[in-house]
Structure 1
């Protein structure tokens, strides 16, 4: 009888899986809300991130994201198809499918070109980039916490759509997403006493 399967889904391992999944969800919120402290919290201090255009430590990753996302008014990362495999009691490999959408301002085309192989969309207007890719993350549990120790972004598919200036507009009465600590989720967290 293969006891590995039973061990992989013991109560302790299910808790580990949920903790690793939570790290991925927190990463998405952190990068989409430009919460730089929270970005650092999903990685161990000695972690390495390889986004292709950027490869290096977490401090460098944060600096790169800060600069690159300066002209990106909207960003959304969604995770799905997460497969977690345990290499030992305190190490795991997670393969996570990511779907991302980012809007680039007319003066943010250099940031767009970084992850589009040089394509920038129509000059003078906004562009949306849609992408499907995967994160291959090595996780380690240290001091009881699962965090990423090494990430490689495996690029899949991307497309650019030029934004129609006469397209849908946000109405003043709507709660609109923000890319900072003024986003509605942070106000709700504060109201509920969530740190």
Structure 2
């Protein structure tokens, strides 16, 4: 394998890591990890929201706190490298469950694509610009009572989630 091909594979791997880290950050409400997925001057257009990285982090954090659970799954990821810039299209599905104020249950699944421009600085890739193109949504029923029987392995939206418990 030529050095250029190896470099491209490593760059794609690093970009995929950012995409997967973003999903963990959203699903575990790891706000610092979320912020680290973007360059400070990055922009995000996400549904009704358009703004800077810090504005997006504040907006999505408030939104996510209304949920009891989210789960993001990534599908097809196509990355086009161009020096220290990369363009990525990522298909995804996300499940959301929560109970906002009032008597309405707020459970839905959405299919969408992240359309990202990444930038590399000092060997590190991060999001510079993101557009979330929502393709569809569908309401669903969440069975939180049954899930509560899972005990200590019940997913949590903070650092007590099982993913953060590493064996010695």
| TM-score, length-scaled by structure 1 | 0.79
More strand by share: 2
Provide the rounded CA distance (Å) in 2 between the counterparts of 1:106 and 1:40.
Answer: 25
**Superposition map of 1:146-157 within 5 A:** 146-157=125-136
Aligned CA distance change for structure 1 residues 127 and 52 (closer, same or farther; 3 Å)? closer
Backbone CA RMSD of aligned residues: 2.1
Question: What is the match of residue 139 of structure 2?
Answer: 160
1:132 matched to 2:127? The reply is: no
**Structure 2 spans left out of the alignment, 5+ residues:** none
**TM-score, normalised to structure 2's length?**
0.90
Q: Is 1:105 matched up with 2:99?
A: yes
> Does the 8 Å CA contact 1:127/1:163 hold for their aligned counterparts?
no
Distance change (3 Å), C-alpha of 1:76 and 1:163? closer
2:53 pairs with 1:67:
no
- Mark the runs of 5 or more structure 1 residues left unpaired by the alignment: 1-5, 108-122
Number of residue equivalences: 167
Superposition misfits of 4+ residues, deviation over 6 angstroms = none
Which has the higher Rg, Structure 1 or Structure 2? 1
Q: 2:29 aligns with which of 34, 38, 47?
A: 34
